Amino acid sequence: MNGPHDLGGQMGFGPVAPEKNEPVFHAGWEKRALGITLCCDALGAWTIDESRHSMEGIPPAAYLAASYYEKWIRGLHILLERHGFATRDELLSGHKQRDDLRSRNILKPEMVADMLASGPSQRAVDTPPLFSTGQRVRTRILHPTTHTRLPRYARGKTGMVDAIQGSYVFPDTNAHGKGENPQWLYTVVFDAVELWGSDSDPSSSVSIDAWESYLEQF
Amino acid sequence: MPENDHSQSHSHEHENQYSDMQVRVKALETLLIEKKLIDPAAIEAIIDTYETKVGPRNGATVVAKAWNDTSYAAWLKRDATAAIASLGFGEQQGERMRAVFNTPDTHNLIVCTLCSCYPWAVLGLPPVWYKSAAYRSQAVLAPRQVLAEFGLALPEGKKIRVWDSTAELRYLVVPERPAGTEGMDEAELASLVTRDAMIGTAVVTRPGASA
């Protein structure tokens, strides 16, 4: 979706202004937010794609004003309610109104290391890659209302395949419970001039990692 | 169709609940424990991992080894996931890693414009600036200006290669080894490698040298 998260190329956010000697966490609640979210992700009820999409749907003004871990908690509220783990009243009041009767293996401390290690979403596909390294390709112009990982700044652009990275679960369908539908993944590199126009820096280039269905022959 | 319509119609009540995150997160944790959906000991284990066990020292070890050992560097270039896992970081099943090497010709910079994807296993949790709208928006649009904000002025004509982490691959920048470090062992070399240098917003300098 063309949500507030799709930030590449936007302007007006001011300087990056890195904090010197920044602590890992800025408040105790951030630590809890990290832990709670990862524990809930380990319930196995939603995919990482769905959880990313839950944050993309945060209303733009709220998204841009929210800190990182606040975005996580907002997204988590949506997921917990959607998957029947908590009602809106329970989330607002902070009190259980009914038990969750589904039996679940919840995350235990001895499982944490393996959970953090659990790898991504590589899956075999039975067709060979459509595109090869060094080939010029064009990204499609698409504006789905649903989840995608093709940023707006890189749609309808011509670039070169830098690498074929394997085959992975396709987030655009997986985020919506419509199946993993794995596809070949390509690193595609674009000259800055192609993305941003002839006034931009000719010595810069930008790559994205694109699933095969984002690309077409050039 | 937006899947969170409720927030439009109950927006005032909905927004108020986020004005005090301390209270909100405490309430959520309490609720989830009451419902037996989370174990607070698992939360502690997660926090402890990222406070004390996993951080940029992992990535620095990888970089120092690559500087010191050309066959490791070649392996890292060819199969970063395996090369990193061989040192006990990253993960057996693989956070899919790719190492990108700075050269006299080209400087690499990593971003995730769409959220904040970051190589947690080798760099720990990302800094606030990496996750900010300012960085996510500008790193792809005006990388040279972003680097200038970090005090890094690349030589005229040096190319910048920005990597937007839009999929499950995570990127580690291998900075150029500074001159004057020839005698150093891997531990000393690793101590020079900063987190920012492995994202691409800094370069590595030897002690006593200016950037």
Q: Which domain holds residue B86?
A: 55-199
Q: How confident is the model at residue A116 (pLDDT cuts 50, 70, 90)?
A: confident
What predicted TM-score, i.e. pTM, was given to this entire model? 0.94
**Does the residue B37 lie in any domain?**
yes
Asked if B85 and B23 sit in the same domain, the reply is no
Asked if B110 and B41 sit in the same domain, the reply is no
pLDDT at residue B1, as a whole number: 42
pLDDT at B2 > cutoff 90: no
In three-state secondary structure terms, B116 is coil
pLDDT tens digits, one per residue of B91-110: 544 468 999 999 999 999 99
CATH (domain of A85): 1.10.472.20
Number of Cβ within 10 Å of residue A140's Cβ equals 14
pLDDT at B3 > cutoff 50: no
Please give the tally of structural domains in chain A: 2
Question: Which of A7, A22, A160, A187 is the best residue to mutate to test the B interface, defined by the most B CB atoms within 10 Å of its own CB?
Answer: A7
Closest C-alpha to B176, from B79, B49, B85, B73: B73
End-to-end CA distance of chain B: give it in Å, rounded.
51
Asked if A73 and A154 sit in the same domain, the reply is no
pLDDT at residue A79, as a whole number: 98
Asked if B21 and B95 sit in the same domain, the reply is no
CATH (domain of A141): 2.30.30.50
CATH (domain of B156): 3.90.330.10
Q: Do the beta carbons of residue A119 and residue B120 sit within 8 Å?
A: no
Residues of B in contact with A17 (CB under 8 A): 129, 134, 149
Nearest to B46 among A34, A106, A185 (CB): A34
Asked if A111 and A35 sit in the same domain, the reply is yes
pLDDT at residue B93, as a whole number: 46
Asked if A34 and A91 sit in the same domain, the reply is yes
**Does the residue B75 lie in any domain?**
yes
**Does the residue B3 lie in any domain?**
no
Q: Which residue of A has its CA nearest to B94?
A: A119
Binary contact (A106, B135; C-beta < 8 A)? no
Q: Which domain holds residue A208?
A: 136-217
Cα diameter, chain A: 61
pLDDT tens digits, one per residue of A44-98: 999 999 999 999 999 999 999 999 999 999 999 999 999 999 999 999 989 999 9
The two beta strands, A158-168 and A215-217, are unpaired
**Does the residue A106 lie in any domain?**
yes
Question: How is A110-150 classified by DSSP, letter by letter?
Answer: GGHHHHHH----B---SS--SS-TT-EEEE-----SS----
Please give, rounded to a whole number of angstroms, the shortest distance from the CA of B143 to a CA of chain A. 8
Q: Which range is least confidently modeled, A54-63, A103-112, A182-191, B108-117?
A: A103-112
CB < 8 Å from A in window 76-135 of B:
91-96, 98, 113-116, 120-121, 124-125, 127-129, 131-135
pLDDT tens digits, one per residue of B68-82: 999 999 999 999 999
Place of tokens 């424990």: B33
Distance (Å, whole) CA A39 – CA A215: 36
Q: Which range is least confidently modeled, A14-23, B3-12, B41-50, B175-184?
A: B3-12
Please give the tally of structural domains in chain B: 2
Asked if B105 and B36 sit in the same domain, the reply is no
| Mean pLDDT value of segment B140-153 | 97
Residues of A in contact with B51 (CB under 8 A): 24-25, 31
User: Could you tell me how far CA A101 lies from the centroid of its own chain?
Assistant: 31
Q: Do the beta carbons of residue A136 and residue A218 sit within 8 Å?
A: yes
Question: Which of A34, A203, A211, A214 is the best residue to mutate to test the B interface, defined by the most B CB atoms within 10 Å of its own CB?
Answer: A203
> ipTM beyond 0.85?
yes
